[in-house]
Amino acid sequence: VSPAIVIRNARVLTMGSGPAPRRGQAMRQLGVIDRADVLMSDGVIRAVTPTGSGLRIEAEPQEIDAAGRVLMPGFVDCHSHLCWGGSRVDEWERQLAGETYQQILAGGGGIMSTVRATRESSAGALACDLLGRIDQAVGTGTTTVEVKTGYGLSAEGELKMLEAIQKARQYAVADIAPTLLLGHAIDPAFARASDFVDETIARTLPSASAEATRLTGLSAEMIAIDVFCERSAWSVEQATRLLAAGGDLGHPTRVHADQFTSMGMIGRAVSLNARSVDHLEATTADDARLLGASETFGVILPCCGFHVDGRYANGRMLVDAGVKLALATNANPGSAPCPSMLMAIALGVRFGKLTVSEALVAATVNAAGVLGLRDRGFIAPGARADLILLREHDERAVAYEFGSNPVEMTIINGKLVSN
Ligand SMILES: [Zn+2]
> pLDDT by residue (tens digit) across 337-361?
999 999 999 999 999 999 999 999 9
How many Å lie between the centroid of ligand 1 and the Cα of residue 374? 23
pLDDT for residue 109: 85
For the CA atoms of the chain, what is the radius of gyration? 21
- What SS3 state is found at 38? strand
The yes-or-no verdict on residue 90 having pLDDT over 70 is yes
pLDDT for residue 102: 79
How many Å lie between the centroid of ligand 1 and the Cα of residue 80? 6
Q: What does the mean pLDDT of the chain come to?
A: 95
Question: Mean pLDDT, to the nearest integer, of 287-305?
Answer: 98
How confident is the model over 169-184, as pLDDT tens digits? 999 999 999 999 999 9
Answer with the residue of higher pLDDT: 375 or 185.
Answer: 375
How many Å lie between the centroid of ligand 1 and the Cα of residue 404? 25
How many Å lie between the centroid of ligand 1 and the Cα of residue 292? 21
How many Å lie between the centroid of ligand 1 and the Cα of residue 8? 39
pLDDT for residue 419: 54
How many Å lie between the centroid of ligand 1 and the Cα of residue 64? 38
pLDDT for residue 52: 86
How many Å lie between the centroid of ligand 1 and the Cα of residue 341? 14
How many Å lie between the centroid of ligand 1 and the Cα of residue 392? 31
How many Å lie between the centroid of ligand 1 and the Cα of residue 279? 8
How many Å lie between the centroid of ligand 1 and the Cα of residue 96? 22
Q: Give one DSSP letter per residue of 302-341, joined into a string.
A: HHHIIIIIS----HHHHHHTT--EEE----BTTTB----H
Cα separation, 114 vs 111, in Å, equals 5
pLDDT for residue 1: 61
- 14-23, 53-62, 185-194: least confident range: 53-62
How confident is the model over 215-255, as pLDDT tens digits? 999 999 999 999 999 988 999 999 999 999 999 999 999 99
How many Å lie between the centroid of ligand 1 and the Cα of residue 81? 6
Handedness of CA 127, 128, 129, 135 (dihedral sign): positive
| Beta strand pairing call for 387-390 and 70-73 | antiparallel
For the entire predicted model, the pTM comes to 0.97
Question: Mean pLDDT, to the nearest integer, of 375-400?
Answer: 98
Q: Give one DSSP letter per residue of 97-124, joined into a string.
A: TT--HHHHHHTT-THHHHHHHHHHS-HH
pLDDT > 70 fraction of the chain, expressed in percent and rounded:
99
